[in-house]
Amino acid sequence: MTSLSRALTIRLGLLGIVLFAAFIAAVLAFTFITEDPGALRNDVTSQIIQQSVRPSTGSGLQVEKTAGLVQIERASPRLWYLVSDGRSVVEYAPELRPGLPIDIRLDGPTIAAQMRVGGDNALAFDVIEKDGSRVIVATGGGVPGWDLILGYFLRAIAGPALAISVVFGIMIAAAIAMSVSYISARLRSAAEAAARIDPRAPRGLLPTEETPVELMPLTTALNSALDQIAGNMEVQRRFMNNVAHELRTPLAVMRSRVDALPDEPTRLKLTTDLSRLTTIVSSMLQLARLHATELPFEPLQLNALARSVLAELAPLVLSHGVDVALEEEGDLHAMIDANEPTVRAALANLVDNALRHAKARSIILVRVLDGAVLEVIDDGVGIAATKRNQAMEPFNRMSPSSTGAGLGLTIVRDIMAAHGGSIAILGNEGGGTTVRLAFPPDGTSRD
C-alpha cells in the first residue's frame, strides 16, 4: 500500500539534497570564476605545504614529502616554496624564487598574516602558528590537480556548509511536516464526510469548498458516482414498490379462487404456495417502504412495546404449540428514540423466525435488557458461525423446507441500520440461536 506521507517525505528529502548540492556547486563555481587562477593555485599549494610542515627537531624544521606535495612537485615545473621558523629554512627550487616582499629571517614578534600576489609572478605568503611556533610559508608556481583544489575548497567551506545544511534540513523537515499535516487534514475531512453518508441514500456529499485543487477530480468523480448509485437505488426501490403493489390485487383474487376449489389436497397445496408468495410480496413492500421515506422517531419504551407485540402474536404462538416467555432486566422504564411501527415489525419478524425453527413444545425467550437491548432466543438447529452474515442477505432461506420468504432478517437488519443500532446473531450452548438487537440510548445520534 502506497503512503502519500512517505512518498512526499522522500521526494521533498531528495529535493533538499539536490538543492543543497546545487548550492555547494554554485559556491564552488563562483569561487573558481572570480578567483585569480594563479592565486587560487598558490592558495592550494600553500595549504598542502602547511600540512606537510613538521615540528623543529635537533636538525631544524622539516617538510614531509606527503602524497599531495609530491603530486604538486611532479606537475609543477616552475614550483618553488620556502618554509622558515625564524631559525631554520627549508627551501625547494630556490633558483625559481623571486625576491620576497619581506625578510625571511624574522626577529621579534610576528602575528599570523597572509599576503597574496597575483599576475604572472603570483605567490602566496603566510605566517602561521604551528605547534606553538611561528612558521612562514611562501610559495609560487604550483599547479595542483583539480582533486587537490576541490578538496581544499570542500575543507574550507565544511564548517559553513555544515551550518547551512543543518538550517536547511530543519527548514525541509518543517516543510515536510506542514505539508503532510495539511494533506492528512484534507483527506481526513473528506473521509469523515464520506463516513457520514447515509448508505440508503448515497448522494454526492463530499465537500468541495475546502478540497485542494489536486484532490478535486477525485472528489468530483466520487460525488458523481454516489449520485449515480443513489439514482439506481431509487429506480430499484420504485420498481420493487410498484411490483409489490401490482401483485397484491392478483394475489387476493387468486386466494379467493383457490379457497373455492373443491379438491382439498390441491387446495391445501396451492394455499401453501400462495401464502409463501404473499409473504414475499408483503416483505418486498415493507422493504420498499423502509427505504423510500425518512422514518419519524419518537421516545419509545422498549419493555412496553415487547409486551404489546407478544400479546398480539399470542394466537400465532399457540397455533405452533410453542410457549413464549418475556424476561425484563435492568431499567424497566428506560426510553429509546425509535420508530414504533418498524421496531414492532422487527420483533414480530424475529418471533416468527423463531417459531419456524423452534422445536415442538419448546419455549421461545424474549429478553429486554436495560430498555435498549432486545434478544429473541430459540432452541432450534441454530445457524453456523460461518453462515450468520449470510443469513441476513435477501432471499436467503437457511433451510430448504422453510416456508418463509428469506427476507425477515434482511428487514430487521435494515430497520436497525435506520435506527443507528446493531444486530448480532449468536449461538447458544445447548443449541439454537440468539438474535440480539441493540438500540442507541435516547438522544444518541443515528448518523
CA distances from 314 to 233, 306, 343, 402 (A): 38, 12, 18, 21
| Mean pLDDT in order along the chain per 10 residues (447 residues) | 66 75 74 68 86 75 87 90 84 83 51 62 81 83 82 70 76 78 76 71 68 75 80 73 71 79 80 69 66 77 90 80 86 87 86 78 86 88 73 63 65 85 85 88 55
What is the SS3 assignment for 258?
Answer: helix
Closest CA to 293 of 196, 394, 395, 414: 414
Read off the C-alpha cell for 30: 563562483
Read off the C-alpha cell for 317: 404462538
Tell me: the pLDDT tens digits for 388-400?
Answer: 777 777 666 655 5
Under 8 Å between Cβ of 257 and 271: no
How many helices and strands (H and E) does the chain possess? 11, 14
- The pLDDT score that the predictor gives to residue 107 is 44
Cα separation, 69 vs 75, whole angstroms: 10
Under 8 Å between Cβ of 351 and 366: yes
Residue 325: half-sphere exposure toward Cβ, Cα within 13 Å: 8
How many Cβ atoms are within 10 Å of 235's Cβ, its own excluded? Answer: 10
Cα separation, 236 vs 408, whole angstroms: 19
Strands 113-117, 373-378: parallel, antiparallel or unpaired by DSSP? unpaired
- The pLDDT score that the predictor gives to residue 180 is 75
